[in-house]
Structure 1
Amino acid sequence: MEVKLHDIGEGMAEAGINCFLVKPGDFVKADDPLLEVQTDKMTAEIPSPAAGIVKEFKVNPGDTVPVGTTLLILEASATLGRQPEKVAAIPEYKKGGAEVEGPSSVNGTSQVKPIFPRILASPYTRKIAREHGIRLEDVTGTGPAGRIMDTDVYNFLENLTTNDSQQQTGLTEAEPKIDQPQTVKPVPFRGRRRQIAKNMLHSIQTIPHCTHFEEIDVTNLIEFRKELKASNIQLSATAIFIKTLSVCLKEFPIFNAILDEENEVINLNDHHHIGTAVDTEDGLIVPVIRNVQAKSLTEIHSEMKALTEKALRNQLTIKDIQGGTFTVSNVGPLGGSIGATPIIQHPQVALVSFHKTKKMPVVNERDEIEIRSIMNLSMSFDHRVADGASAVKFTNKFAAYIANPQLLLLELV
């Protein structure tokens, strides 16, 4: 039986082969994971379609292969669904013909151990082990059913480091320092990084980007969050921004649209599926909070926190990352305060980026100088779909809500 790479979500065209979770000769049950692949947005395990024995691999780790490629050959059989418990004992013979007793048996049969027990570990745990050159076969799992956890790998690595240090302290002479020639370290350009590059290039070549910049006074919002915190209500600034954007999108639905170029129509979405960009070790990924227009601030905060944690652990599902209609990126915590020209996720038509808040002198309505907390906002939009005037009105509406959180609360009643 040929096990092939199938489209596992959102029009996937190809995937990179991360590693095999089995080896030739292994017995597997239906739905056991066979190998780990990297799509443009996530890491996924390919399950076995049936019980059987792995015969041979048709691809290698590091390969990037299109959908439909044969990954491995599986000898499938209904009789392989379970392992035989007993087989007839075979007598062994010494050289010269003297018979030697075979393995200990009961009623002429002997017990047979299962073939190649499967190692239980998540893709993220396997990734940690690969990065540190650790064989999971050498690690003792402490999770359910012997599952290897992240902490097991880290503890194993710590023990290795400790042993190496102890061996080094036993040296009587310091090893001479040898100057190593300067080299260039090649970094694989595949998997998520390669797909991000493809998506960005397609977007920038397809969409005539226009970016509008706006200064947002967040002084009152900061005080509002302090009051909430004093009442044991935790709300992140990003959650408030996302809900505020949803309120603005109701008035400016053109920015929550999908351009269908083939049919020459702009589809205005009444649902607000807002993606939030998350920076991970493997690159940028955008989980989606669905139906923001129907959710409370606390619901948005909780869901965003859960999705971010899943993204950092590389545990997002296809459903978590597909179907977005608008995207936000909060780079403020990273220190970016001036601005940027964010690239839109095609076929969406707009993206907003929030930057670091800074205290700045501002002239108020009484011509007095006062210190206010100011955040820069960058909004990129598809100039085929919307005009600059609409973008300015959209960000002005957003700025008014953020400067006066009470107005936002009235909209939510």
Structure 2
Amino acid sequence: MIEVKLHDIGEGMTEGEVLAYFVKVGDQVVSDQPIVEVQTDKMTAELPSPVSGTVKEILVEAGTNVDVGTTLLLIDSGSGMKNNQVEKKEPVAFQIGNVISGTKKELSVTLSQAPTQKVILAAPYTRKIARELGIDLGEIKGTGPAGRITDEDVYGYVNRKHEKPAVMQEEMETMEPAPILPESQSVEKTLPFKGRRKQIASKMAKSLYTIPHVTHFEEVDVTRLISLRSEWKDQGKTISVAAFFIKALQLALVKFPIFNARLDEEQQLIRLNSECNIGVAVDTEEGLIVPVIHQAGQKSILEIHAEMKELIHKAQSNELTAREISGGTFTMSNVGPLGGIGATPIINFPEVALISFHKTKQQPVVRNNEIVIRSMMNLSMSFDHRVADGATAVGFTNYFSELIENPASMLLELK
């Protein structure tokens, strides 16, 4: 009997939520067939079967949070292998979105033993859509590569299924509406505190209780940056303001490497990162997630803009890979489009600092003893006071502000 366990499929993952099973007791499965979908604080992943065989027992119900190492279900491979033999094998591959990563070692199965169970190809986000709509993916014909079922296939199936004859539609329109319950009989509304929301809460609490946070505020004149961006837009080159922020942050981190570091308390060392990997906080339906732009110092502003746009799309579609959400050394949050003039952001542990950009608005300011209208933006920078002091944080934000207020000066810093 083979135990299928929840393995660590993320950076420092300790637990996950079992979202759904793609099999039931008695089903025949083949090696590498997706059998269960799990949700961590960073990603949704499909775990494949390590062997071919029969599902004998499902030990954990869907919707349950479990620790890494918990056995989820049992598979009878018919080979007489013992559990500890499987544990010694290389980690099986796992699927995140449309990407396969990891290593695998095939188990020999004769053709006569191979089950004929149909494998349904669909991304985790597509499965989620179908699950929420109560649709069986087995009834849908996929139009994607190799017959993969796409989001459009699911929505198209729903539209076809719910098309009704005109007579039925008229009958439905004449039906009396359901009675409204008196206020005294109303049911308390609740939201589940699990999955990504619970993981975010755990990580934020750990950061706040571990790191002595200090938040520094600054005001930045972004008038010239907005003007430069408009000029490039007129030339057919659309670049987001956030891409300029990332490049300016990367340059500032080179000059102030203490904020691109990690504190190793056990070894009593402050480890300065050799690479500048900037995380971008993205708000999604399932909660905050931070995809990472790796090696920002080796990329142009145009390249940063294109990569950031792709990462945000994948974050909102729940299609990020493990690498795209790991390895960050510094995090930025651009909440300006949503509004707000300030915040005290919580550091993305175990990083040393996090910067948040707020609403930009035109206001009168004094320049050369004259009152002029400028586009001003507030920023909030939280940092670990064990690692850096306030004067260093002020120096960092001052240098960042100089680059943003005079965007052409960034060209002088590029190598």
- Interval containing the TM-score (normalised by the shorter chain): 0.7 to 0.9
- Conserved 8 A contact 1:52-1:81: no
For residues 228-264 of structure 1, the C-alpha deviation after alignment (integer angstroms, 9 at most, x for no partner) is 2223223211111011011111111111110111222
Change (3 A) 1:195 1:224: same
- State the partner residue of 2:212: 208
For residues 92-127 of structure 1, the C-alpha deviation after alignment (integer angstroms, 9 at most, x for no partner) is xxxxxxxxxxxxxxxxxxxxxx75422221100011
Q: Give me the whole-angstrom Cα distance separating, in 2, the residues matched to 1:407 and 1:218.
A: 14
- State the partner residue of 1:189: 193
Amino acid at match of 2:256: F
- State the partner residue of 1:89: none
For residues 106-163 of structure 1, the C-alpha deviation after alignment (integer angstroms, 9 at most, x for no partner) is xxxxxxxx75422221100011112222222333332234322101211233334543
Which runs of no fewer than 5 residues in structure 2 stay unpaired?
80-107
* 1:107-122 to 2 correspondences below 5 Å: 115-122=116-123
- State the partner residue of 2:253: 249
- Conserved 8 A contact 1:352-1:380: yes
- State the partner residue of 2:91: none
For residues 306-345 of structure 1, the C-alpha deviation after alignment (integer angstroms, 9 at most, x for no partner) is 2112111111121111111100011112223x11111001
Q: Give me the whole-angstrom Cα distance separating, in 2, the residues matched to 1:13 and 1:231.
A: 49
For residues 354-406 of structure 1, the C-alpha deviation after alignment (integer angstroms, 9 at most, x for no partner) is 112111111111x2211111111110011111111111111111111111111
Alignment TM-score, normalising by the size of structure 2? 0.87
Change (3 A) 1:300 1:165: farther
Note if 1:134 corresponds to 2:135. yes
Amino acid at match of 1:264: Q
Name the SS of the counterpart of 1:263 in structure 2.
Answer: coil
Q: Give me the whole-angstrom Cα distance separating, in 2, the residues matched to 1:406 and 1:154.
A: 47
Q: Give me the whole-angstrom Cα distance separating, in 1, the residues matched to 2:192 and 2:175.
A: 36
- State the partner residue of 2:76: 75
Amino acid at match of 1:340: A
- State the partner residue of 2:373: 371
Change (3 A) 1:332 1:166: farther
Which of 349, 353, 363 is equivalent to 2:352?
A: 349
Q: Give me the whole-angstrom Cα distance separating, in 2, the residues matched to 1:73 and 1:124.
A: 26
- State the partner residue of 1:99: none
Q: Give me the whole-angstrom Cα distance separating, in 2, the residues matched to 1:243 and 1:55.
A: 54
- State the partner residue of 2:51: 50
Q: CA deviation at 1:208?
A: 0.9
Name the SS of the counterpart of 1:210 in structure 2.
Answer: strand
Name the SS of the counterpart of 1:170 in structure 2.
Answer: helix
Count of equivalent residues: 383
- Conserved 8 A contact 2:30-2:117: no
- Conserved 8 A contact 1:22-1:118: no
Name the SS of the counterpart of 1:203 in structure 2.
Answer: helix
After superposing the two structures, state which structure 1 stretch, 167-176 or 327-336, moved more: 167-176
- Conserved 8 A contact 1:34-1:45: yes
Counting aligned pairs with the same residue, the percent is 57
Q: CA deviation at 1:18?
A: 0.3
- State the partner residue of 1:149: 150
Note if 1:360 corresponds to 2:363. yes
Change (3 A) 1:368 1:305: same
Q: Give me the whole-angstrom Cα distance separating, in 1, the residues matched to 2:131 and 2:46.
A: 16
Note if 1:395 corresponds to 2:397. yes
- Conserved 8 A contact 1:26-1:115: no
- State the partner residue of 1:316: 320
Change (3 A) 1:346 1:84: closer
Amino acid at match of 2:72: L
Q: CA deviation at 1:304?
A: 1.2
Change (3 A) 1:276 1:172: closer
Name the SS of the counterpart of 2:387 in structure 1.
Answer: coil
For residues 47-71 of structure 1, the C-alpha deviation after alignment (integer angstroms, 9 at most, x for no partner) is 1111222222111101111111111
Which runs of no fewer than 5 residues in structure 1 stay unpaired?
86-113
Alignment TM-score, normalising by the size of structure 1? 0.88
Q: Give me the whole-angstrom Cα distance separating, in 1, the residues matched to 2:362 and 2:167.
A: 51
RMSD of aligned alpha carbons: 2.0
Q: CA deviation at 1:84?
A: 7.0
- State the partner residue of 1:92: none
Larger radius of gyration: 1
- Conserved 8 A contact 1:29-1:81: no
Change (3 A) 1:148 1:81: farther
Q: Give me the whole-angstrom Cα distance separating, in 1, the residues matched to 2:307 and 2:70.
A: 36
